[in-house]
C-alpha cells in the first residue's frame, strides 16, 4: 500500500530547535509508545491521515495508533527546513515498511508538511 500526504504540528524546546522535529518524532514513534507520539503534538494540532481529512484530539491519536499497531519503524528524511524566528516549516518524506502483524508486506510512503515552533518561555 502506498499513500501520500500528512501533517503534524510540534512544539520544541529552544535547545533542540525546529530542525530536529523529524528525528524527535521518529524516536517517539519508534518507541511504540502512543503517549510519546502524542507529546510530539500540541493539543490543537491536526494530522491528515487522508487528503482533505484533518483529525484532531482523540481522532488524531487513533490515526497514529493505527500506524503504531503495524509494529514497524518509521524512517524520516527531511527535504526542506525553513525557519523564521521561533517557527519552522518542514517538508519531510517518511516511510513505514516491512512485514505487518498479519504477515503481509506493508509499504506506506508519504510526504508530511510539519509546522514546528519553540516552546513559549523556553530558553
Q: Distances from the Cα of 32 to the Cαs of 50, 52, 62, 69, 112, in angstroms?
A: 22, 27, 14, 8, 20
Q: What is the pLDDT along the chain (123 residues), one digit of tens a residue?
A: 333 334 444 444 444 677 788 999 999 999 999 999 999 888 889 999 888 999 999 999 999 999 999 999 999 999 999 988 888 899 999 999 999 999 999 999 999 999 988 766 544
| Dist. CA 105–CA 16, nearest whole Å | 35
CATH entry 3.10.450.50 includes domain 7-118: yes
Q: Output the pTM of the full model.
A: 0.81
**Strand, coil or helix: 64:** helix
Amino acid at each position: 500500500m502506498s499513500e501520500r500526504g500528512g501533517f503534524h504540528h510540534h512544539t520544541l524546546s529552544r535547545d533542540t530547535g525546529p530542525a530536529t522535529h523529524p528525528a524527535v518524532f521518529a524516536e517517539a514513534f519508534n518507541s511504540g509508545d502512543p503517549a510519546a507520539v502524542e507529546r510530539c503534538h500540541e493539543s490543537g494540532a491536526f494530522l491528515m491521515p487522508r487528503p482533505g481529512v484533518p483529525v484532531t484530539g482523540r481522532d488524531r491519536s487513533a490515526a497514529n495508533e493505527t500506524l503504531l499497531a503495524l509494529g514497524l519503524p518509521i524512517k524520516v528524511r527531511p527535504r526542506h527546513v525553513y525557519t523564521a524566528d521561533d517557527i519552522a516549516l518542514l517538508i519531510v518524506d517518511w516511510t513505514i515498511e516491512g512485514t505487518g502483524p498479519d504477515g503481509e508486506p506493508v509499504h506506506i510512503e508519504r510526504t508530511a508538511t510539519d509546522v514546528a515552533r519553540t516552546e513559549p518561555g523556553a530558553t
